[in-house]
Amino acid sequence: MAGAVAPGGEGWSSRWAFILAAVGAAVGLGNIWRFPTLAGENGGGAFVLVYFGCVVLIGLPMVLSEVLIGRHGRSDAYHSVIKVAEDSGVSRKWGLFGGFGILGAGAILTFYSVVAGWVLYYVGVMGADFLGALFSGNPMAGALAAESPETIPTRMTDLFANNWLLLSMHVLFMGVTIWIVARGVTDGIEKAATILMPAFFVLLVMITIYGAFTGEFARALAFLFTPDFSKLSPSVINEALGQALFSMSVASAALITYGGYVAKETKLAPTAVMIGLTDTGVAILAGLMIFPIVFAVGLDAAAGPTLVFQSLPIAFHTMPAGSLVGLLFFVLIFFAALTSSISLLEAVTAWAKEKTGWSRPKSAWIAGGVIFLVGVACALSLNIWSDVRLLPFWPLFAEANIFDTIDGLVGKVLLPLTALLTSIFIGWKADRKLVEAETGLSGGMLGIYRFLIGWVAPIAVFLILLFGLFPQLL
């Protein structure tokens, strides 16, 4: 199939290349690190149910809307929205939400790269551990066999206490991301996705099967699928929405940008649904990979952000071949994080390139450099800058360090706001014929899509945003 011809002549070499890249964008730390963390903290089943509602009612129509904006606009998120607005005879000011998305993408990448840096560190720790086990003739050893369950979690506290180590990992991860984006759509982004994503899926299935046999699979199933509604609150629902948007990569310019490289003949609706549901499937599977292992050694599901980094290595410590599985587990997260960070940087790079006329490598290195520097502040807020407050006057963030403030601002404010504007734009402002033609939908499916994007998504997002930010209103 012919590639799309976006300005600059870049495009995916096939529909599958696009699907892999978009799934790569969607599947990331959000699925493997954040989803299990949030589900664990918020009581499991009830959170999963609300999350699933957000995916179907808001996420899927949003994925389709964004990809169609990109494909029609054939440019970065900001300029693509403007093109759709112009062709619909409405104000160019709508481009603003495209800009919000790009801002969101850059903001996410600042802390995303820091967390991905932790992952890299663990790849190193587990890699060295496995090599040690191998050379001592014991490849089936548990992870970090020479240590005790009490000292294993100090791997993470040691990392957090070591600025240089934290920053080196952040540099390394950003460097790889920039290098790939600078190589271009086909030679960089697409190539990375077509190698890393299949490898990711093989690892995911392997480790899930391993956990099912060696861990407490039935308990994990019950945990993820038995809802306890007493655990629900406006803030949990707000969190579920933010997480659904974050995980599906919507409202943050990535899918609009990737949509810009999609060929005219590609059918968007089934492609969008496939991308969205794969992302959700991976999140659930990640839960089914992680919780059986966590429960097997009696660890706490509600451990929070350290679940993956501290609890799991303790579990791998006592499990058969835990050293090898632990290494594979962190390699898997690394692959997922990299394909996502690539999409985040591409969203900003495409805009910088369009705006300034710079070459792709120059745009990628400069955009990536700025994001890297803000990321340094996120990293340092884990230790020497832990007392710095960005928004001390805003109760929601009064206690939050730089990292949590940026994360919270994006997930609770910027993404929902951008999603709201996107749904109003596509549901009410964009030319109906244009939208219909790009989606390729007709009849009942078109009606459902229109209803979801025009009514359900904006109303739900508005209410969630309102009550999430001002719980006292309830």
Tell me which residues touch ligand PHE (CB under 6 A). 25-26, 28-31, 105, 108, 246-247, 249, 252, 254, 340, 343-344
Q: Which C-beta is closer to ligand PHE: that of 40 or that of 142? A: 40
Is the distance from CB of 378 to CB of 403 less than 8 angstroms? Answer: yes
Which amino acid, residue 398?
A: A
Closer to ligand PHE by CB, 62 or 400: give it. 62
In whole angstroms, the minimum distance from the beta carbon of 428 to ligand PHE comes to 25
The DSSP code for 262 is S
Backbone angles phi, psi at 227, to 5 degrees: -80, 135
Cα 459 to Cα 50, 176, 223, 287, 297, distances in angstroms: 16, 40, 30, 30, 43
Residue 420 near residue 465 (C-beta atoms within 8 A): yes
**Cβ-contact 344, 358 below 8 angstroms:** no
CA distance 194 to 181: 14
Q: Which of 379, 342, 446 is nearest to 163 (CA)?
A: 379
Residue with smaller CB distance to ligand PHE, 24 or 326:
24
DSSP secondary structure string for all residues of 374-399: HHHHHHHTTTTTTT--S-TTSGGGTT
Q: Closer to ligand PHE at the Cβ: 152 or 250?
A: 250
Nearer to ligand PHE, 130 or 329 (CB): 329
Q: Which residue has the tokens 């005879």?
A: 89
Of 18 and 246, which has the nearer Cβ to ligand PHE? 246
Beta carbon of residue 471, minimum distance to ligand PHE (angstroms, whole number): 25
Nearest to 20 by CA among 340, 244, 260: 340
